[in-house]
Structures are given as structure tokens and as C-alpha cells.
Amino acid sequence: MLKNVLKVGGWTLVSRVTGFARDILMAAVVGAGPLMDAFAVAFRLPNHFRAIFGEGAFANAFVPAYTRVRTLGGEAAADLFHGRVLTLLLIVQALLLAIALVWTSGLVQLLAPGFVGKESVFALTVDLTRITFPYLFCMTLVTLWADALAAVKRFTAAAAAPILLNLTMIAALLLAGWFTSSAHAAAWGVFTAGLLELALLFVAARRAGVIATPKKPVLDADVRAFFRAFGPAVIGSAGVQIALLADTIIVSFLPTGSASSLYYADRLYQLPIGVIGVAAGTVLLPEMSGLIAKGDPVGAHRAQNRAIGFTLFLTAPFVAAFLAIPDLIVAAMFQRGAFNAEAGTAAASVLGAYTLGLPAVVLIRSAVASFTARGDTKTPLWASLTAIGCNLALKLVLWKPLGATGLALATAVGAWINLIILMVLAARTGKAEPDRLLWRTAAVAGVAALALALALIGLRGPVSGFAATLSSAHGREVALVILTLAGLVIYGGVAMAGARMAGVPLRRR
């Protein structure tokens, strides 16, 4: 298990690094104006549908069903089940793709109504959506084959596939002069990446012997059991996507550049979520499940407390940096070429608002494990839907006075509501037992983060002045590197000293 976690984590890290390279280039080439606004919406539309019907929801239903059929009935039965699901997916996706391509303007008008009054942006969004939407069809098959591979303990191809999207978009942006616009280049990069990811997963699945041909879609017992599990999973995924879809709809009414601000801020905000929060939750769930199955809930709670403490220690410096110097981080990462200072200021404001909810977001996966490790998937679902309802209500209140920053702030508040509900319910039902060591760990991480934030604020001026003397063209980048190195020393030193004083055993982490 550890080998697979490290393998997936390694490819995920490579994906994040190449993703940052892609976004840095996109900021320089596309910028943060109407071109980027149109692309951001055109790219989000197929991804909303993919996230609802694919990824986690599909995996939670398909992997257990496929594994059960393969174990009890053998490869022939698994191939039959796989083929029937494949046929149903192809039918649904072909119909959805046909509707989207024929009725693209209506789809954009429905999901980005604010663009209707901006004729040039609306027309461009429609054009780009016709290019990007087939990506959904490709990703549906990629998800199916990735889950079939996961069922036989093959993870590399699926983990590496997102890198192809980043590399293909980078190549397309470098050749932007050959396209109608830089936004068209990015859109065609997405389209091409879908075909490449599809080819990669097809080859990997065929080599592993889990490729199935389409079969007559009979609703037998196995297929019905799959859909019974798939339904609740889709509802949970749809709830999260409804909140994100609200961002897409509302931001279309905001001034030009607002959708771009959300996009670029989200790219930075997702780094600790993807690398820390998801990794910790992925490792914790089987650990807790195994201990609970052995009749050791105390050990499961101890493992959960240590995972939460570990997550807090790694996340705290991101929170401090994103709150103390968000404008410098955004400027150093993206502000060049078509991405100007005004766009940087807007994205920095959104990043700061997102960051207020970052600790909650990275801890939700670990909190959910209290329930899912015991087979309870309904409680996390209701907690998520409650938080999403509050999130949507806040968006409607905050979007006019605060713009894109208000949407991010509503997301942050919703994350805290979700986490608090989960932790309170888990504590009341005995499914979690935060111990004194966890509270001491949280206090040490908080003090170290505060020290880091104050140090970054105090050092920024002198360091920026010194960096400007070293490089007039890249002063922001040099300043960020110096502050990052200094921050690591400060945070590490304060955390180690605080841990020793509080009796927190860092070695065990």
C-alpha cells in the first residue's frame, strides 16, 4: 500500500509542477482579460459534468462492484459487467456531446448568463466550448479504464495521465501564433490532451487485461447494484459541483477579469489541498478501516489524530504565506506578459479569501474518515450538502459587494461549516477522540504560522529592495525565493522549539 501511495503521490507532484508551468505560461500568453474569462468558463463546463458523473463518484460505485464480480464470477463475468457499463456510458456521453455541440450557445447562456450582454466574450466562449467539450467524452472512458486498473492494483497510468494535459497545453500555448487566438490555442490543447490521455489509459488497460468490448446493456443484478451505489455518490459530487457551478454563473455577471482571478487564485490554493489534504486522507482511510475491523477503535482514533496533526503542520506555512504576502506570490508566479498588475491584485485578493478556509479544506478528508471507515457514507453526504447550502446563500449575499473575492470567501466559510459538522458529530457518536497531543500540535502549528506571517510581513520590504539590486527584471521572483528560504528556517525553528516545549514528538511524524 505504501509503495502505491508514494507512486501516486510522486506522479501527483509532477502533475502539480507541470500544472504550475502551464498556468505561468498561460498568464503570460493569455493574461486575465476577456480571452481568459472565456477560456476559464469553456474549460469549466466539461469539467463540471466530469466531476459529477466521473472521478470519485464513479470510482466509489464501480471499483467495489467490478472487484466483487471479478472475484466471485471470474474474468468472463467481469468482462461482461464492464462491457455493459461501457455501453451505457457511451450512449449517455454520445447524447450529451451531441446536445452540447448542437446547443452550445444555449448551454453557455444557461451556465454563464452574464456573458449574454458581452457579445464578443459570449461568442468566444461558445466557440471555445465546442472545442473543449469533447474532452468530457474522452475523460469518461479514461475514468472507466482507470477504475478497472485500480481494481487490479495498477495506478501509474491514471496518476500520470493529467501530466499530458499540462504538457499538451504548454505546447499549444507556445504555438499560439498558429491559432485564431491564444485562448483557441489553450482550448485545442485541452482537446488534444483528451485524445492522448484516452490512448494512454487504453494501452495500459489492454496490457493489464481489463479492456472490455461494448456489450448489450442488460440491467442484471450486478448492473443494478452498481447504479444503486452510483446514485448517492453522484448526489454528493453534484452538491459540490453545484457550488462551483454557482461560481461560474455568478462570475459571468462580474467585471471582465473576475473569472480569471478565480482561476489563477484557485491554482495556488489547490497546491496544499492536492498534495497534503488528499494524500493524508487517502492513507488514513484504509489505516482506520483496518484498525476498526480488528476491534481497535482507540488505535484508529490515535492514527486519525496523528494524521490531522501532520496535516496541520504541513498546511500552516501555506496559510501564513498566502495571507501575509498573497500579492507578491501571485505577482512572482503569474505577473508577466499579458497578466498585468491589476490582474495580480485581483487574484491576490481572491487567494487571501480562499486561504481563510484552507485549514478546513485540507482536514475534511481526514474528518470524513471517521464515518467512511465504519461504512457510514450518509453522514458525510448530509454534512456536505448542509455546508453547500450555506455556501450558496453566502455567495448570493457577497457577490455584489465583494465580487470574485466574495465567492471565494463563501467557499471558505462553507468549508469550515462542513468540517465543524463532521467533527462535532464524530465526537458526539464516539467516532473521533481528539487527544491532548493533537491540541498541543495544533497550538504549536498555529504559533509557528503566526511567527512566519509576522516575519514575512516584516522582511518583505528589505528583501524586495535587496532583490531589486540583484535583478531588476526578476526582482519579484528573487524576493519570493529569498522569503521562502527564510520562511522555512523561521517556521521550522519555531515549530521545533514549540514542539519541544509542548512535548510534541516530531520524530513520530
* Cell matching residue 269: 490554493
**Which string of DSSP letters, residue by residue, matches 43-100?**
HHHHHHHHHHHSHHHHHHHHHHHHHHHHHHHHHHHHHHHHHHHHHHHHHHHHHHHHHH
pLDDT single digits (tens) 326-340: 999 999 888 877 778
Q: Which residue has the cell 469533447?
A: 134
User: Domain for residue 295, yes or no?
Assistant: no
Is residue 437 domain-resident?
no
**Which residue in this structure is represented by grid cell 474518515?**
369
Please report which helix (H) or strand (E) contains residue 413, including its range: helix 404-428
Q: Given pLDDT bands bounded at 50, 70 and 90, which one contains residue 247?
A: confident
Region 301-308: mean pLDDT is: 87
**Mean pLDDT score, 27-33:** 81
Within a domain: residue 191?
yes
CA geometry: angle 201, 203, 207, nearest 5 deg: 115
CA dihedral over 448, 454, 456, 458, signed as positive or negative:
negative
pTM: 0.73
Given a cut of 50, is residue 508 above it in pLDDT? no
The answer as to whether 12 is a domain residue is: yes
Greater model confidence, 269 or 128: 128
> Is residue 438 in a domain?
no
Radius of gyration of the chain measured on its C-alpha atoms:
23
Cell numbers placing 176: 499560439
User: Number of structural domains, the chain?
Assistant: 1
Nearest Cα to 28, choosing from 337, 263, 329? 337
Per residue in 187-198, pLDDT (tens digit) is 999 999 999 999
Q: Report the pLDDT value the prediction gives residue 7, as an integer from 0 to 100.
A: 58
CA distance to 272, 278, 299, 378, per residue, from 304 (Å) = 19, 14, 9, 20
The segment with the largest mean pLDDT, out of 79-93, 291-305, 400-414, 469-483, is: 400-414
pLDDT band at residue 283, thresholds of 50, 70 and 90?
A: low
Angle at which helix 297-324 crosses helix 358-372, to 10 degrees, equals 170
Residue 1 has pLDDT above 50, yes or no: no
Residue with cell 455493459: 84
What would the mean pLDDT of 392-418 be, rounded to a whole number? Answer: 91
Q: What's the mean per-residue pLDDT of the chain?
A: 83
Burial of residue 191 (CB within 10 Å: 0-12, 13-18, 19+) is middle
Q: Which domain holds residue 131?
A: 1-235
Give 37: exposed, middle or buried? Use CB within 10 Å, 0-12, 13-18, 19+. Answer: buried
pLDDT digits (tens, 9 = 90+) for 453-503: 999 999 999 999 999 888 777 888 899 999 999 999 999 999 999 888 888
Q: Do the domain assignments include residue 67? A: yes
359 in a structural domain: no
> What's the whole-number mean pLDDT along residues 313-330?
94
Tell me, what's the pLDDT at 260?
A: 77
Residue 71 located in a structural domain: yes
